[in-house]
Chains A and B, each alone.
Chain A
Amino acid sequence: MEDIVKKRIKEVRKGDHNAFGEIVELYKSKVYQLCYRMLGNSHEAEDIAQEAFIRAYVNIDRYNIDRKFSTWLYRIATNLCIDRIRKKKPDYYLDAEIAGTEGMNMYSQIAAEGMLPEDEVTSMELQALIQREILNLPEKYRSVIVLKYIEELSLNEISEILDMPLGTVKTRIHRGREALRKQLRHI
């Protein structure tokens, strides 16, 4: 996939606007996923994910073609998410609540309509709960946990994306796991 992407990037650099559309198609799901898990609400996630692609496009000349494109793209997206989280710190818990209730509302709606079998309803409840606990993590643990378990990236890639020594990444993942364990152990 990286080869196709690099070919497209060369086209974008030559001014082929449409080649960028293909890049967006290839990565939109991963980038949106990352933003959604980091921010916990679909509006903001869409906003930031779009912004990430726009920035990638504007700065495409700065991307080092010898390196993995996804690492560079995730780095842009992660930094935008972190900025957003830091800016809205006072609303931190409020947002976590909203994210939790979002799922709950959906759950109660569907439950009222009686359209889903019980185990699926339960799984939605659980999903909302897990998402809420991810959002309750301090940003420095949240980003490593999301990159590791949602995006399924290697520790080395995470260290590159976050521009942070491997040791720090490991420590943060360990702490993030412990914090989540305390919240999720009784499920």
Chain B
Amino acid sequence: MSSCPDYIIEFMHEYLDEEIPEEHKQELKEHLQICADCKQHFNELVKTVALVQSTSHIQTPENFTEKVMMHLPREKKKVGIKRWFGRHPILTAAAVFIIFMTASVFASWNQDDNFSVTKNKNIIIENNTTAVVPEGKTVEGDIVVKNGDIRIEGKVDGNVTIINGNNYLASAGTVTGEIEEINKVFDWLWHKIKDISSEVLQLFNSDKDAK
């Protein structure tokens, strides 16, 4: 066989790949008729292929599909949301904004539990926990009290917001704006959202005005 041209073996593989040109096929045929070695080689190849093809079908394990389905990540929903975001960029921006804001609001809610109050010369602090608007005094502007109480004996020309505290309005005291007590995180959140959305609205409006 060592005396045989290499291309004979090539032709055998072309034959096995079912891609043999007619003239190669003819030449291979003629050669195999006269060369016992190549004929044997060829028969061995044919047998090898037959043996590999004869391997029986292996049964797929039981419950294969169920197992796959059980292990599928719940990714699909996320993918759906992702796609939805892709289609609604403005809403996406809004959603991201809200999420971001919520996180920061929560952070600020948790972070400072110190008593604080809007600075104003007409507000007096009692016991470090109570803001007092004394009788006969007028506070011009809004007051925000955090983690403490407020007692209003005088006048407030604006809104009063009390976060995590109580508001005592004396009979003589007056508040021209709204009084809002916020004692839960979600109230606080809602309050923040209202604030920010009105800011956003203003932004849009001023944008329109600019145009």
Chain A residues near B (Cβ < 8 Å): 12, 15, 17, 20-21, 24-25, 28-29, 32-33, 36-37, 42, 45-46, 49-50, 53-54, 57-58, 61, 123, 126-127, 130-131, 134, 145, 149-150, 155, 170, 173-174, 177-178, 180-181, 184-185, 187
Contact = CB atoms under 8 A, between A and B. Distances in A.
Q: Which 10 A-B pairs have the closest CB atoms?
A: A185-B44, A174-B13, A32-B60, A149-B52, A24-B65, A181-B48, A53-B68, A180-B48, A181-B44, A36-B58
Interface stretch (B69-77, B109-117, B159-167): B69-77
Given A49-B64, A54-B73, A150-B53, 13 more contacts: A24-B64, A24-B65, A29-B57, A32-B61, A33-B57, A54-B71, A58-B73, A134-B55, A173-B13, A177-B49, A180-B48, A184-B48, A184-B51
Contacts of B77: 15
B71 to A, nearest CB: 6
B45 A177 contact: yes
A174 B16 CA distance: 9
Given A21-B69, A54-B72, A145 B51 contact: no
Contacts of B75: 57-58
B87 interface: no
B21 interface: no
B3 interface: no
25 contacts: A15-B77, A15-B80, A17-B69, A21-B68, A21-B69, A24-B64, A25-B65, A28-B60, A29-B57, A33-B58, A46-B61, A49-B60, A49-B64, A50-B64, A50-B68, A54-B68, A58-B73, A123-B56, A130-B51, A150-B53, A173-B13, A177-B13, A177-B16, A178-B45, A180-B52
Most A C-beta atoms less than 10 A away, residue of B48, B60, B67? B48
Given A15-B76, A21-B65, A49-B64, A184 B13 contact: no
A130 B68 contact: no
B53 A28 contact: no
B52 A145 contact: yes
Interface in B10-24: 10, 13, 16-17, 19
Contacts of A21: 65, 68-69
A42 B49 CA distance: 23
B172 interface: no
Interface residue range, chain B: 20 to 34
B52 A134 contact: yes
B13 A150 contact: no
B78 to A, nearest CB: 10
A131 B55 contact: yes
B65 A29 contact: no
Contact of A150 (B48, B52, B71, B80): B52
B44 A170 contact: no
Contacts of B47: 184-185, 187
A59 B55 CA distance: 32
A157 B116 CA distance: 73
A181 B69 contact: no
A53 B10 CA distance: 38
B54 interface: yes
Contacts of A123: 56
Contact of B55 (A12, A15, A17, A150): A150
Contacts of B79: 15, 61
A50 B63 CA distance: 11
B210 to A, nearest CB: 41
Contacts of B69: 17, 20-21, 24
Contacts of B80: 15
A81 to B, nearest CB: 14
Contacts of A178: 45
Contacts of B17: 155, 170, 173
